[in-house]
Structure 1
């Protein structure tokens, strides 16, 4: 364990990270898989078998020593809590994360696994304990999942910013080329060629102008390229559901790195600000300029937030809010793919229209802001 620093009652994890590098820890492997279509009682014996296969110290334990319960059924995962009463009499809990059906259409599992090893070693998320054919096992985090309303709380916002600063300094081996626009264009290619069995969904889908969306992608891609935003390893999905807080210890956790990749700093921040709206897309909750500046101060200078210059605040404001537009395009296209591929009962088509509609609503304001900033800074306003 490395040193810990206390920020306003929160414990900031800085363990195992030196100069942005960390050493990945070993984990167990199993060739078993779990059928997600089974109800929990039928799935439980397979989960127990899996745990015994992964962890040799549990291999001889009687099945009665294992209990399995559902933690949550997310948009792309099913989470189970497995509690084991060991021979010593102590109880140990782990989280079994089962990948949702068809999620490989939108998630690069190899990249996720590569990242999670190093992020876990750097103190982010749960510790990776084992990997099996269609999921992974991690340490159980004793904490509550945040709600969208929590993101607005000044003390929590400051801590999220400080942790994001550390997160962006973790080194993940492999190519550090930013993946944002590669991902957006891949999503576009998949989203623009869908066919729905449901005629009602197909008729709604047919109203979408993919030529218009393609033009929007190219315009925002060109504009953001002029901002010279730093490339970092980004979480890319920092919504409230991927933040957990142990209030007794005052410890904040980032979890679920499925969409993590090298990307642009402004995208990770702008995407996080969009998540203040929650799944209901209540964009009246989007953070004000004052709230964003509070976040930026603690992100840019965690130790001395009051010393951040006005110039740096303004630059990050433009950067984050321009990439915020890219975030809407990213998740709008993602939603179309999910509308066709996901078995989860969620109105992804409506979600597409909410995200794309907000993009169009905010586009002119923030594109104009970016062009004015670029013209005034001498970086050039481009043709976007």
Structure 2
């Protein structure tokens, strides 16, 4: 099957992904849904990414009541009825512009980006009114904050434009990232995604700030983070992501998908094949040869790690529900509102905390590594991030049922008001999490080893890879001996 070359609307409606051609409708004789979707794209700029309920489609219902047939005027018979039904179940959409590529720039020349934005947003018709702030840039990646100022209304609209980093296609499935973002946005747990272009994304800007890693343990914040992650795992349907992804690949990739990794285990398996034999990991594996599944000192690093992966899977399989996991919930990917940030400085009363628990101001961003995975992996992976990049392990919460902090975190995750509401459920979740405490180190150790060979960022990935893989060995040593007590 030959991939289509035209730009396309990717429309999520009634849990299913649909494709509508995006063309210059003034020359195409008028495709009436075009103006509706273009308008909807901009209205979604103001949509809340922290709402607790899925998109209701109330604006669509009012549109339908006023005459949804007008949306399909001029579209013949059966197609008109199908289009009306499709739009009436509208949840979210994004443009797919496969032939547009934006080169990362160190010069501040962003004319190509501005031109693309005027294509995505038709009423952004004056490139001179678009200002661009560059957060990161260079030959590896680029993140831009783009603001359109409307002089007639003295208002502005803001989006983010991100180009993919150098070599990241080796370890990140960009089709999956795009579809995941659409599905998450459809239940109001992510900012709108406006477009995917050839080498990047355009998506909504969330006002607020990201956390520092030391703030993850803040007793005023971790219940909100836990509750939000619990909401994610309940509301984001992992099967919907898989079904929409398969449909996208059939439409644009034919029989050649970007990746065949459909879950955490297959992702790690693929990564192991890409891993060079770097000092940080090989040294750690040698030091722990006594507990390796392959104890032959001449065995390759790939053989050693593949055997460990098989062992891990045999121990953890079916021990935790599979969910749509974020898989990268470090502090930089947790955003808090400006209001909450100010309250943390001035003091947060009990009533204000209760309000925030009811109207959670936490948002999660960056869905590059989202995949089907055990919920306990997503949770334990988040706890590992409490240590920061310097691997200060003493900051990781101890995986014990006697740990009051962990009990409170789990209670918030499970939607309980108090850590004493259902002691058995919390005990079970802590045991589930403890069982997965070694997996994040294994996962990120391998990832860091790959990064040491492809990244131009000034960071000692080899050292970090060794630190993270050692977490796994330390966990495994305690697991094998069944030593009571915390894993770290």
Query: TM over 0.5: same fold?
Result: yes
1:220 CA drift (Å)? 1.8
Distance 1:219 1:206, change over 3 A: closer
Per-residue deviation at 1:219?
Answer: 2.1
Deviations 1:239-275 (A, max 9, x none): 1111000131661111111111111111000100001
Among candidates 324, 335, 338, match of residue 244 of structure 1: 335
402, 405, 417: which is aligned to 1:291? Answer: 405
CA distance in 1, matches of 2:159, 2:206: 8
What residue is the counterpart of 1:268 in the other structure? 378
Q: How far off is 1:99 after superposition?
A: 1.1
1:46 pairs with 2:101: no
What secondary structure, in the 3-state scheme, does the structure 2 residue paired with 1:57 have? coil
> What is the aligned partner in structure 2 of residue 79 from structure 1?
143
Specify every segment of 5 or more residues in structure 2 that has no aligned partner in the other structure, as ranges: 1-48, 57-88, 244-260, 286-299, 341-355
Contact persistence 2:377–2:437 (CA under 8 A): yes
The equivalent of 1:130 in structure 2 is: 195
Task: Name the CA shift for 1:104/1:12 in 2 (closer, same or farther; >3 Å).
Answer: closer
Q: Give a deviation string over 1:98-134, Cα, whole Å, max 9, x none.
A: 1111111111111111111010121223211121111
User: In the superposition, relative to structure 1, how do residues 174 and 45 fare at CA in structure 2: closer, same or farther (>3 Å)?
Assistant: closer
Q: Is the 8 A contact 2:279 2:462 kept in 1?
A: no
Instruction: State the shift of 1:152 in Å.
Output: 0.1
CA apart distance, 1:15:
2.5
What SS is found at the alignment partner of 1:268? helix
Verify: 1:26 aligned to 2:117, yes or no.
Answer: no
Answer yes or no: is 1:64 the counterpart of 2:131. Answer: no
Per the normalisation by structure 2, the TM-score is 0.65
- Give the structure with higher Rg (CA): 2
Distance in 2 (alpha carbons) for counterparts of 1:224 and 1:157: 26
Partner of 2:309: 217
CA distance in 1, matches of 2:279, 2:228: 44
1:253–1:174 distance in 2 versus 1, CA, 3 Å: closer
Gaps of 5+ in 1: 1-10, 196-201, 373-384
Which whole-Å deviations, capped at 9, do the CAs of 1:41-76 have from their partners, x for residues lacking one? Answer: 13x112211211221111x31x331111123469x8
Instruction: Give TM-score, length-normalised by structure 1.
Output: 0.82
Cα distance 1:237–1:95, how it changes in 2: closer, same or farther (>3 A)? same
Counterparts of 1:361 and 1:77, CA distance in 2: 35
- For the aligned residue pairs, the C-alpha RMSD in angstroms reads 2.8
For residues 440 and 280 of structure 2, the distance between their equivalents in structure 1, rounded to whole angstroms, comes to 23
Task: Rate the CA distance shift 1:32–1:206 in 2: closer, same or farther, 3 A.
Answer: same
The alignment status of 1:148 with 2:213, answered yes or no, reads yes
* Corresponding residue for residue 270 of structure 2: 186
How far is the alpha carbon of 1:190 from its aligned partner?
A: 1.4
CA distance in 2 between counterparts of 1:346 and 1:360 reads 23
Matched residue of 2:419: which SS? helix
Instruction: Report the Cα distance in structure 1 between the residues aligned to 2:467 and 2:407, rounded to whole angstroms.
Output: 26
Whether contact under 8 Å (1:70, 1:79) holds in the other structure is yes
Give, in whole Å, the separation in 1 of the partners of 2:55 and 2:484. 38
Q: In 2, distance between residues paired with 1:178 and 1:317?
A: 26
1:215 Cα deviation from its structure 2 partner: 3.0
1:136 deviates by 0.9
Q: Say if 1:35 and 1:114 are closer, same or farther in 2 by CA, change over 3 A.
A: same
Q: Distance in 2 between matches of 1:78 and 1:99?
A: 7
Contact 2:407–2:419 (CA under 8 A) maintained in structure 1 = no
The Cα shift of 1:361 comes to 2.2
Distance 1:149 1:371 in 2: 27
Aligned match for 2:469, one of 344, 351, 356: 356
Instruction: Specify the SS of the correspondent of 2:436.
Output: helix
1:196-345 aligned within 5 A: 210=301, 211-225=303-317, 227=319, 229-248=320-339, 251-288=361-398, 289-300=403-414, 302-345=415-458
- 2:177–2:367: 8 Å Cα contact kept in structure 1? yes
**What is residue 52 of structure 2 aligned with on the other side?**
14
Three-state SS of the structure 2 residue aligned to 1:292 is helix
Kept after mapping to 2: 8 A contact 1:178/1:231 = no
What's 1:379 paired with? none
Partner secondary structure for residue 27 of structure 1? strand
